[in-house]
A and B are shown apart, each in its own frame.
Chain A
Amino acid sequence: MLQAVKAPAERIKVGRIGWSLGSLAVLVAIWEIAALIAASRYLPGPLAVVQVMVREAEAGELWVNITATLIRVAFSFVVAMFIGSAIGVALGRNPGADRFFDTWLIFFLNLPALVIIVLCYIWFGLTEVAAITAVAVNKIPNVAVTMREGTRSLSKDLEEMAQAYRFGWWKTLRHVTVPQLAPYFAAAARSGLALVWKIVLVVEAFGRSDGVGHQLNIAFQLFDVPMILAYALAFIIVVQIIEMVILQPLMARANKWRR
């Protein structure tokens, strides 16, 4: 019976890929037409951009910069998820602390990313630590809010069950609490990654001498639009690969018990 359910799901997946490819083709076509009409060096067509991308890749520049950016993303992402989750769970469990710190959370949520970046560089210098701190601080309040929501909605029923059957804290954490928080963690991680990608580029443009952001900044000074688009494209591809190869399988695995 379970096998029978799988087959349509497979078909839906193929259908979705078909739609994605189709809509992507339309987007590329519009781009090509717009480039032809504009006939300007500030709006190169898709082919020109891909050529620049290949050239940069062959020179090795592309990989060096994308790797530098990925490492920054990884570090700040892990730091933000860790600290944000700890804060969120603590606030979700403790209404008193939540009432007090809620205002702080709102303050940091609304603090513009640029302000945090500039202040981090001024206070800590143009260092790697400052860069990663700036990105993490931007992300922490979002993670905290999502995880607080998840902690508030933890099932009292299951907690009582674990207590009645004397699960102890480790078993309760592993089999009762963490699985309930997992969807919130996944949501925070996904929206978090989307935000971290973008902020890392800004941080790099401001105060780092490598990374995609730095490269974009140089291209901007030269008005080198093909270079800008080439890096953007390469970056989008890398992000999508990570999404498909790491995040989606993880989500699918975490959700396999759902009806």
Chain B
Amino acid sequence: MAPLTHPLSVCVRKKVFPAVGLRGEIHVLEDIAFEVESGSFVVITGPSGGGKTTLLNIIAGLDKDYEGKIDFGDSGADRLAYVFQSPRLLPWRTVYENIALVLPDGDPRIANIPELLERVGLKEATSAYPEMISLGMQRRAALARAFVLEPEFLLMDEPFVSLDDPTAQDLRELLVELWSRRPTTVLFVTHDRAEAVMLATRILRLSAGSASIAEDIPVSLSIADRSNRDKVQAERRRIFGDG
């Protein structure tokens, strides 16, 4: 069981994109406040263009232009990893170098890279350049880059979009496996309901328009149930009434 502590509290009172040309200013986020328990897997869903990515960028500290406060508690945001919507690997560095680069020079975790690459199925591609491998493999490399940090907080922004279904499913199972091995607090953005149910211990649904939290739903699947399609389907029907 995850201990009932709140290492992360998110409060975004207002986030506005300023007016550009004829377009007026856009209220992206309004009155978002939630706390995340240590070790939980929170999936954030909602309509596209609904400010989900903006919310992650704010939590990651990439976007500082907002009203509100992100509090990582005592743990601090030092061990934070972010898996973006596109893999965002450095094309001029090999798969191995891309992963090693997120660690400080001489860090002992560098020794874990070969094993991690093997686990994500990239052993053969260790010294390949990102443009020479498939998108699925690039996404695996991006996952490995996040996990090599052994992060306390893991932010993921639709990391499996534009992959064929078996590949995406494969990566989801890999993610569950990696997540269950090490207690990590995950914030995962997706608009795929099946994916949300399969991964989450808790689902936050953002409303349309200027987004605030519409629903906060706990998901009660065990780790083993998550690779069982029927159980995921049943839970999805319970939560969303579809599927």
Binding site for B on A (CB under 8 A): 157-158, 160-161, 163-167, 171, 175-176, 179, 256-259
B163 at interface, CB cutoff 8 A:
no
Q: How far is the CA of A157 from the CA of B86 in the complex (A)?
A: 9
Is the pair A158, B90 in contact by a Cβ cutoff of 8 Å? yes
Chain A to chain B: the 3 pairs with minimum beta-carbon distance, closest first = A164-B82, A257-B129, A179-B92
* CB atoms of B91 and A257 under 8 A apart: yes
Known contacts A160-B84, A175-B90; 12 further A-B pairs (Cβ under 8 A): A160-B57, A161-B84, A161-B88, A164-B80, A165-B101, A165-B149, A167-B102, A171-B101, A175-B101, A256-B129, A258-B131, A259-B132
Query: Do B62 and A160 have beta carbons less than 8 Å apart?
Result: yes
Q: With A165-B81, A167-B101, A175-B93 given, is the CB distance from A257 to B86 under 8 Å?
A: no
Contact A164 B60 (CB under 8 A): yes
**Contact assessment for B92 and A257 in the assembled complex, using a CB-CB cutoff below 8 Å:** yes
A163 to B64, CA, bound (A): 12
Chain A residues, Cβ within 8 Å of B81: 164-165
* Contacts known (A165-B102, A166-B78); A259 close to B131, Cβ less than 8 A: yes
A158 / chain B contacts, CB cutoff of 8 Å:
88, 90
Chain B residues, Cβ within 8 Å of A165: 81-82, 101-102, 145, 149
Nearest Cβ distance between residue B110 and chain A, in whole angstroms?
15
Q: Complex: how many Å from CA A68 to CA B120?
A: 58
Min C-beta distance of A158 to chain B, whole Å: 6
Complex Cα gap A257–B101 (Å): 17
* A-contact bits for B73-99, CB 8 A (1 contact / 0 none): 000001011101010101111000000
**Which single residue of chain B is at the shortest CB-CB distance from A259?**
B131
CA distance A166 to B77 in the complex (A): 10
Q: How far is the CB of A133 from chain B (nearest CB, A)?
A: 35
Question: Which bucket holds chain B's interface residue count?
Answer: 20 to 34
Q: B84–A157 contact, CB under 8 A?
A: yes
Residues from 90 to 134 in B contacting A, C-beta threshold 8 Å: 90-93, 101-102, 129-132
Cα of A163 to Cα of B82 in the assembled complex, Å: 10
CB distance from A80 to the nearest CB of B (A): 26
State how many angstroms separate the Cβ of A70 from the closest Cβ of chain B. 31
CA distance A166 to B149 in the complex (A): 11
State in angstroms the CA–CA spacing of A175 and B145 once bound together.
15
Interface string of B214-243 (1 = CB under 8 A from A): 000000000000000000000000000000
CB nearest neighbor in A for B57: A160
Q: CA A164 – CA B60 in complex, angstroms?
A: 6
Bound state CA distance, A115 and B90, in angstroms? 45
User: Can you name the residue of chain B whose Cβ is closest to the Cβ of A160?
Assistant: B62
Closest B residue by C-beta to A171: B101
Best-buried of A176, A256, A257, A259 by chain B (most CB within 10 Å):
A257
Q: In the bound complex, what is the Cα–Cα distance between A257 and B82 (angstroms)? A: 24
Report 9 cross-chain contacts, Cβ distance below 8 Å, ordered by A residue.
A160-B62, A164-B61, A164-B82, A179-B92, A257-B91, A257-B92, A258-B91, A258-B131, A259-B132
The smallest C-beta distance from A19 to any residue of chain B, in angstroms, reads: 29
What distance in Å separates the Cβ of B230 from its nearest Cβ neighbour in chain A?
A: 37
Given A165-B81, A165-B102, A259-B131, CB of A176 within 8 Å of CB of B86 = no
Q: Report Cα–Cα, A165/B102, bound state, in Å.
A: 6
* Distance in Å: Cβ of A120 to nearest Cβ of chain B: 39
The reply to whether A163 and B101 contact each other, CB–CB distance below 8 Å, is no
CA distance A171 to B155 in the complex (A): 22
Task: Give the contacts of B114-171 with A (CB-CB under 8 A).
Answer: 129-132, 145, 149, 155
Residues of A with C-beta under 8 A to B101: 165, 167, 171, 175
Output the least CB separation between B24 and chain A (Å): 23
| Inter-chain contact B62/A157, CB cutoff 8 Å | no
Contact A179 B90 (CB under 8 A): yes
Measured CA separation A176–B149 after assembly (Å): 19
Give chain B nearest CB distance to A58 CB in angstroms.
Answer: 47
